[in-house]
C-alpha cells in the first residue's frame, strides 16, 4: 500500500459531483507550501497543488466545511495524471484518493464552528469519470 499525507489549504470550495450511477464524489485542490535553500543559500518557496477526491460521500455535510483557505490534513492513495493545458503545454497533476481527512482550521473570516474529523473508507472505482 502507498500512502501520502498532506497538510495545506484549499484553493477553492469543495465541489460535489453526482455521477450517472447516482454516486456522489467530492473534489477539491490543496496547496502545500514548501521552502528550501539552494547550494548558494538562496531561499526558494514553492507551492505544490494536489487534486483530492473522495468517492461515495453520500449525504455527508463535510463539503459544507471545506471552503477556500481552510487548513486540512489529507491522507490517501497518491496518483498522477497528464493533460494538455489551453496553450497546448503538457502538464501533470498530483492526485489523492482520500482515505482520511481532518479539518485543522477554518478559512480566514469564517465564523467559529465545530469542525468535524472524518475517517473515510476507501471503496471507490479505480478511475475518475472526468
Domain spanning 4-119 has what CATH number? 2.40.50.140
Q: For the chain, how big is the Rg over CA atoms in Å?
A: 16
> Cα–Cα distance between 58 and 61 in angstroms, integer?
9
Give the model confidence (pLDDT) of 6-43 as tens digits.
Answer: 999 999 999 999 999 988 999 999 999 989 999 999 99
Residue 105's pLDDT is what?
79
Tell me if 96 sits within 8 A of 6, measured CB to CB.
yes
Give the model confidence (pLDDT) of 74-127 as tens digits.
Answer: 999 999 888 888 888 888 888 999 999 999 877 665 544 444 444 444 444 444
The DSSP symbol for 129 reads -
pLDDT > 50? residue 129: no
Residue 115's pLDDT is what?
47
> Cα–Cα distance between 14 and 97 in angstroms, integer?
14
> Cα–Cα distance between 60 and 102 in angstroms, integer?
14
| Domain residue ranges in the chain | 4-119
Amino acid at each position: 500500500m502507498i500512502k501520502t499525507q498532506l497538510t495545506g489549504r484549499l484553493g477553492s470550495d469543495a465541489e460535489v459531483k453526482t455521477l450517472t450511477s447516482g454516486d456522489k464524489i467530492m473534489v477539491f485542490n490543496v496547496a502545500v507550501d514548501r521552502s528550501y535553500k539552494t547550494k548558494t543559500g538562496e531561499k526558494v518557496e514553492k507551492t505544490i497543488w494536489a487534486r483530492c477526491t473522495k468517492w461515495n460521500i453520500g449525504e455527508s455535510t463535510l463539503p459544507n466545511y471545506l471552503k477556500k483557505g481552510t487548513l486540512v490534513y489529507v491522507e490517501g492513495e497518491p496518483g498522477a495524471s497528464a493533460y494538455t493545458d489551453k496553450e497546448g503545454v503538457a502538464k501533470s497533476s498530483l492526485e489523492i484518493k482520500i482515505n482520511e481527512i481532518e479539518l485543522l482550521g477554518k478559512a480566514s473570516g469564517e465564523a467559529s464552528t465545530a469542525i468535524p474529523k472524518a475517517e473515510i473508507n476507501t471503496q471507490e472505482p479505480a478511475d475518475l469519470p472526468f
